[in-house]
Amino acid sequence: MPHTMLRCSECQIYHMPDMKTLGCESCGAPLDVEYIGDGGEQSGFRPPGWTGPNIPLPVHTSDAFVTLGEGGTPCVPLTNLSKSLGLTDLIAKLEFMNPTGSFKDRGTSIMMSVAREQGVREIVEDSSGNAGASVSAYAAKAGIKAHIFAPAAAPAAKLQQIKVYGAQTHAIEGSREDTARAAVDYCAERGLVYASHNLSPYFIEGTKTFAYELFQQFGDGIPGDIVMPVGNGSLFIGAWKGFSELRRADLLTSMPRLHAVQASAVMPLAAAYEGVEWKREPGSSTIAGGISVGDPPRLKQCLRVLQESGGVALAVDDDAIRDWHRRLAEVEGIYAEPTSAAAFAGLERLAAEGRFGKDGSVLVAVTGFGLKDAPPA
């Protein structure tokens, strides 16, 4: 028996849990998983090896669980950088140390587990890279056929990685939005499940393990400020959901501030946060491909996380991203993809503006591996 429902993130209407339901039947907004009754407590599923507090998850049995060893990423003190930025404690959570090289594996693991439980045999996903590779890998593990739609202009190493796991790739000319439309059309034509990492409520249930791991490592003393690159915001929203659950379980006495960093060329969230109009300049682009999302479907939810947590959204330009990409590797030995370097460019500005809490403890999510998307020298 399912222990979850899907609830509209805006009008709060409930829907039955189904991989095919990706938007509210009433208002069209994205859905979230909500646990009913004893919910997660009663689901009986606990990820193998996990020794922290119970994590409510939409998976019922260990048999259905699709895992490649995601999560459990290390937190590394950035002692060289913290001094130069005037911070007491600067910590990086190395999310690129996931099985396919990005944080997406957290979300994909749970999304594909639910797909397997629901008997799904074939899925469609669209991605500019990291999510496509992740879904391709977990689909291989789960024995589910995957179609990945990707922009023809995505980085070669990312496209290569999507292919290597055996997904059928569909390279689409045009914008990121054209790719998404092609995927939706393909699903509609063939009656397939659209396993969208942006829309699927199950994906976010996986990313929330980020928060539980921080609690397991730091206990009630988690860093007061957390900085992330934000495109679609799945880690941003998922982490906040995790912290909120920990708070409700009386395990956290205070919540961290969550800060969102975007690229100047593609900054819908930073603009909405500042209350200014924003439209993407035709032909504008950024080297931070993972956050090059002009119209994120969960924008309102990201804004609520900023508001509830007291965080800031800001945008940084590609020169700063390039500079931080180099600096992070040369000063701290961390080879991040440009998307993750953007978070450090944002961090630098937030530190200079004195936006961090008085305890001075700041954590940055390093979301993707530089091997996947090295910027031009």
Q: How far apart are CA 355 and CA 338, in angstroms?
A: 23
Nearer to a copy of itself by Cβ, of 310 and 375: the residue is 375
Nearer to a copy of itself by Cβ, of 167 and 267: the residue is 167
- Asked whether 109 and 206 are in contact (CB, 8 A), the reply is yes
The burial class, CB within 10 Å (0-12 / 13-18 / 19+), for 170 is middle
Q: How far is CA 153 from CA 128, 175, 289, 305, 321, in A?
A: 9, 9, 10, 32, 20
Nearer to a copy of itself by Cβ, of 6 and 321: the residue is 321
Min CB(288)–a copy of itself separation in Å = 17
Residue 278 has a CB neighbour count (10 Å cut-off) of 15
Collect all residues with Cβ–Cβ distance below 8 Å to 198 and sequence separation of at least 6. Answer: 232, 234, 293, 296, 297, 298
Strand partners, 7: 14, 32
Nearer to a copy of itself by Cβ, of 63 and 295: the residue is 63
Min CB(335)–a copy of itself separation in Å = 5
**Interface positions with a copy of itself (CB under 8 A):** 49, 67-69, 72-76, 80, 94, 97-101, 136-141, 143, 157, 160-161, 164-166, 217, 326, 329-335, 369-372, 374
Q: Are strands 4-8 and 14-15 parallel, antiparallel or unpaired?
A: antiparallel
Min CB(212)–a copy of itself separation in Å = 16
Nearer to a copy of itself by Cβ, of 136 and 262: the residue is 136
Min CB(285)–a copy of itself separation in Å = 22
Residue 122 phi/psi, 5° resolution?
-150, 130
Min CB(268)–a copy of itself separation in Å = 30
Nearer to a copy of itself by Cβ, of 158 and 176: the residue is 158
Q: How far apart are CA 360 and CA 340, in angstroms?
A: 21
Min CB(341)–a copy of itself separation in Å = 11
Min CB(56)–a copy of itself separation in Å = 22
What's the order of all strands across the beta sheet hosting 75-77? 75-77, 89-94, 361-366, 225-229, 257-263, 313-316
The dihedral built from the CA positions of residue 332, 336, 338 and 339, taken in this order, carries a sign that is negative
Alpha helices by DSSP H, listed for the chain, are: 79-85, 104-117, 130-142, 156-164, 176-190, 201-207, 209-218, 234-248, 268-274, 299-309, 318-332, 338-352
Q: What is the DSSP letter of 233?
A: -
Nearer to a copy of itself by Cβ, of 135 and 252: the residue is 135
Nearer to a copy of itself by Cβ, of 33 and 135: the residue is 135
Q: How far apart are CA 189 and CA 313, in angstroms?
A: 39
The residue type of 90 is L
Min CB(283)–a copy of itself separation in Å = 28
Strand partners, 76: 92
Min CB(120)–a copy of itself separation in Å = 16
Min CB(255)–a copy of itself separation in Å = 24
